[in-house]
Structure formats: structure tokens, C-alpha cells
Amino acid sequence: MSAAVSACVVLVACACGPESSKEDPAAKPSQPSTSPSVKAPSSTPSASAPTEKPSATPTGDQPGPRTKAGAIQRYEKYLHALGREDIDTVCEVAAPAAKKAEDQGLGPCTSTYATVFQMISPAQKKALQTATVDPQRVAVRTPDKIEMPVESVRSSATFSESDLGSYTFEYLKNDWYITD
């Protein structure tokens, strides 16, 4: 069962595509145009209005830090979303890899991960919700490519290569994405 979960997770990670990122740039220009009018009164900080709007939109609004720590934060976000069965976040982070899998005949990310969610035990899901990543076990291949081995995942459950697998993150379009 765990081998099947791992295989589905890896395959599903290849089937998602980031379509929400096209909406974000359109939303951002409208925010700055409204913030100058809010900026005029010194009693109300202009940052509060733009901050509220992006938080209501899909993830990925702000560029992610192009650092090892930024990649680790992104991976932890993915792991937590996997544990919560947050399909939107999972498919957004895994978009490039998920697209590859879809091109190879797997279904779209949302349907593939729905199957993956069913294969993860309740104890594993709970562990993923608070999982962290050990930076010492993360391998920086290039400034834009980082390997996240399964051994880097720290949680109350133990995950193997067949359960969760290892991932390659690449910095694309101002954030870290699972590409393999």
C-alpha cells in the first residue's frame, strides 16, 4: 500500500498545472492603484489593503525567496497541504511535475491527488500537517535546483521512499516548484 501511495504521489506531483498564477498578476496591478489613495492618510497604513486582497487569492502571490530556506518553506507548505488534503495548494506547488505526468497519460492533478489522499493513512496525514524539513539533509544542486530527499522530512510518522518519495524543487516563475 505504501509503495502505491508513493508512486501515486510522485505521479500526481507531475500532473498539476499552475493556472492561478495567470490571475495573480492581473490582481496585483489593481491593488497598487488603490493603495496610493489609502496611503495619503498617514493614520491608515497602505500595506493593509494590498495584504488583505492577495491573501484571499490563490497561493503564490508573492515571489518566493530564491534560497535554500525558501525551497524548504515551500516543501513544508506542500507537505502540510498534503496532510490537510488541500488539493489547490498541492497542485500549485507540484504543477510542473504534475503537468509532465498528465502529458504521460495520467489524469489532471486534482483527480490524481484525490486518489493519493485516499491512500495516505490518517496517522500519516496528521504527521504531514506538522512535518518539518531538516536543512542539513537538503542538497543544493544549483542556485535554482534543490533536492529534497525523503530523509529530510521530520515528522511523528516515518516515511520511506515508497511512501512519500524524494523531490526535486526548481525555482521557476518567482517561486519553488516540484519538477521531479
Rounded to 5 degrees, what angle do the CA atoms 179, 113, 121 make?
115
State the Rg of the chain over Cα.
Answer: 18
| pLDDT band at 171; cut points 50, 70, 90 | very high
Task: Kindly report which listed range (22-31, 106-115, 156-165) carries the lowest average pLDDT score.
Answer: 22-31
Q: How many CB atoms lie within 10 A of CB 31?
A: 17
Give the integer Cα–Cα distance in Å for 104 and 50.
Answer: 40
pLDDT tens digit sequence for 42-96: 443 334 333 333 333 344 467 889 999 999 999 999 999 999 999 999 999 999 9
pLDDT tens digit sequence for 116-160: 898 889 999 999 999 999 999 999 999 999 999 999 999 999 888
Phi then psi dihedrals of residue 113, to 5 deg: -70, -25
Give the pLDDT of residue 167: 96
SS3 180: coil
Instruction: Spell out the alpha helix ranges (H) of 14-121.
Output: 20-39, 48-56, 68-84, 87-93, 95-103, 109-119
Phi then psi dihedrals of residue 50, to 5 deg: -65, -30
Q: How many CB atoms lie within 10 A of CB 154?
A: 14
Distance of CA 121 to the CA centre of its chain: 21
- The whole model's pTM is what? 0.68
More confident residue, 81 or 28: 81
CB 74 within 8 A of CB 93: yes
Domain boundaries defined on the chain: 2-22+67-178
In the predicted structure, residue 107 carries a pLDDT above the cut 70: yes
SS3 141: strand
